[in-house]
Homo-oligomer: A and B are copies of this chain.
Amino acid sequence: MRKSKKERQVLLQETIASTPFITDEELAEKFQVSIQTIRLDRLELSIPELRERIKHVAEKKLDDEVKSLPIDEVIGEIIDLQLDESAISILEINKEHVFSRNQIARGHHLFAQANSLAVAVINDELALTAKANIRFTRQVKETERVVAKARVEQTDSDKRRTTVEVNSYVGSELVFSGVFDMYRSNPTQR
């Protein structure tokens, strides 16, 4: 059953708060209303459009600075970073990222986003990937926006190895997950 406007707007606010990078198209599908309706809802609720929301996040100064590589070598845009703890990046899937035949994103681009985020989150001048265990859980299409979230899970046994788990989403759907085993030159402080 379709929700009343009031119910929908409450849920809309909650949804955008928990998944700020959701598109109007995804919201429209989720609430089974037109994109126009979502836009009007956002207007009434004073929620800026996605592009503005991302810009806003991107303009916030990152809490930390990437140490392990120049920031322009990170694949995707880093929008949050706590060294040796967590990081988030966004990659917009364009023509250059997809198979020409079916417009499905090529695996190595999702891997590159996740792997470079796993490098960037390390609080060390040197971070190299030793191994990775990855899963592609849902096809990603051209124009979709992939949000990768990295979380550092320190193992106590060896301070020069750090495990980073990266989960990547389109909206609220998991599209990629990976566990990266990273070498670092200095033992972690944690």
Listed in ascending order, the chain A residues whose CB lies under 8 Å from chain B are 69-70, 73, 75, 99-102, 104, 106-108, 111-112, 115-116, 126, 128-136, 139
Contacts and interface: CB of A to CB of B under 8 A. Distances in A.
22 contacts: A70-B100, A73-B99, A73-B106, A104-B128, A106-B112, A107-B128, A107-B132, A108-B111, A108-B112, A108-B115, A111-B112, A111-B115, A128-B136, A129-B136, A131-B134, A131-B136, A132-B132, A132-B133, A132-B134, A133-B133, A133-B134, A134-B134
A119 to B, nearest CB: 8
A87 B176 CA distance: 26
A107 B136 contact: no
Contacts of A129: 107, 136
> Which residue, of A102, A104, A129, has the highest number of chain B Cβ atoms within 10 A?
A129
Contacts of A69: 99, 101
A14 to B, nearest CB: 33
A114 B69 CA distance: 24
Contacts of A131: 133-136
Contact of A102 (B75, B101, B126, B134): B126
A101 B72 CA distance: 12
Rank and list the top 7 A-B pairs by shortest CB-CB distance, nearest first.
A108-B112, A131-B135, A107-B129, A132-B134, A133-B133, A111-B111, A108-B115
Given A107-B132, A133-B134, 18 more contacts: A69-B99, A69-B101, A70-B100, A70-B101, A73-B106, A75-B108, A102-B126, A106-B116, A107-B128, A107-B129, A108-B108, A108-B112, A108-B115, A129-B136, A130-B135, A131-B133, A131-B135, A132-B134
